[in-house]
């Protein structure tokens, strides 16, 4: 507890004093396209600010997983299709961040799962991803998703699933799979999504952020 308390205080102080709360996209090694969906986070931020007055920084940052800069951001978003590799130092840095009060949302943009699950084992060898039940509060913030994650894009004709890593009773990582929220957050002309699909994805994204900032134990 002594090791994590300063980090919790740092994150709390940053969020309290900052004129706007910053969030960031996580950059990782291994060759995967961490940079996929360039319009998704800005669109999500704009929606959350207008819909729920969250006062998020309108320009999400990009941070390296091994950098101390991740501690400036209470929320990290990670996406991609391909390979992910965490070095031992990067895995330890991410572990310290998550234990200390940070939150990671991993959104599988199709093909990420086979790489990210073993890499997160480097971060938390003692934890496994568990599927969150439909009554979990992350699905029931301002917007109600009684069946869990919405289906945004078809991948392998499988239902969307939401998984979590839970550290000492706190959800520290949420993994959305077979859903593709990030594609849904993008400008609608990128994937030719309907406005209804776009809004549904944004609403689920706002639920995640609302949960992180207001509902965490």
User: For residue range 152-163, what is the model confidence (pLDDT) as tens digits?
Assistant: 877 778 899 999
Residue 18 has pLDDT above 80, yes or no: no
pLDDT in tens, 27-83: 999 988 999 889 999 999 999 999 999 999 999 999 999 999 999 999 999 999 889
Tokens of 174: 């949420």
Residue 198: closest CA among 89, 54, 51: 51
Tokens of 134: 């439909």
DSSP 8-state class, residue 165: E
In percent, the amount of the chain with pLDDT more than 90 equals 75
**Of 7 and 93, more confident:** 93
Domain of residue 16, CATH code: 3.40.50.12140
Residue 11 banded pLDDT, cuts 50, 70, 90: low
Residues 73/98, Cβ–Cβ less than 8 Å: no
Residue 177 banded pLDDT, cuts 50, 70, 90: very high
Predicted pLDDT at 110: 82
Predicted pLDDT at 70: 98
Residue 216 has pLDDT above 60, yes or no: no
Predicted pLDDT at 16: 46
**Of 154 and 7, more confident:** 154
Q: What are phi and psi of 216, to 5 degrees?
A: -65, 140
**Of 156 and 104, more confident:** 104
Query: How many angstroms separate the CA atoms of 103 and 162, rounded?
Result: 15
DSSP 8-state class, residue 68: G
Least confident of 7-16, 170-179, 208-217: 7-16
**DSSP helix/strand/coil, 16:** helix
Domain that holds residue 142: 5-215
pLDDT in tens, 113-163: 999 999 999 999 999 999 999 999 999 999 999 999 998 877 778 899 999
Residue 3 has pLDDT above 50, yes or no: no
Predicted pLDDT at 64: 98
Domain total in the chain: 1
Query: How many angstroms separate the CA atoms of 144 and 214, rounded?
Result: 16
Predicted pLDDT at 154: 73
Predicted pLDDT at 6: 45
DSSP 8-state class, residue 217: -
- Mean pLDDT along residues 199-213: 96
């Amino acid at each position: 507890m002594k090791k994590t308390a300063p980090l919790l205080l740092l994150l709390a102080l940053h969020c309290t004093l900052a004129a706007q709360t910053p969030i960031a996209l996580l950059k990782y090694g291994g060759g995967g396209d961490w940079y996929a969906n360039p319009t998704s986070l800005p669109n999500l931020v704009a929606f959350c600010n207008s819909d729920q007055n969250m006062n998020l920084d309108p320009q999400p940052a990009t941070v390296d997983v091994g950098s101390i800069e991740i501690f400036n951001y209470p929320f990290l978003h990670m996406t991609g299709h391909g390979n992910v590799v965490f070095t031992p130092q990067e895995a330890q840095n991410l572990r310290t961040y998550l234990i200390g009060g940070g939150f990671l949302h991993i959104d599988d943009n199709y093909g990420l799962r086979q790489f990210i699950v073993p890499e997160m084992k480097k971060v938390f060898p003692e934890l496994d991803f568990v599927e969150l039940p439909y009554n979990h509060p992350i699905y029931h913030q301002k917007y109600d998703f009684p069946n869990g994650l919405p289906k945004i894009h078809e991948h392998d004709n499988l239902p969307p699933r939401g998984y979590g890593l839970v550290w000492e009773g706190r959800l520290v990582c949420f993994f959305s799979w077979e859903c593709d929220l990030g594609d849904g957050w993008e400008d609608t002309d990128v994937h030719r999504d309907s406005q209804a699909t776009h809004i549904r994805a944004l609403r689920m994204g706002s639920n995640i952020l609302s949960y992180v900032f207001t509902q965490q134990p």
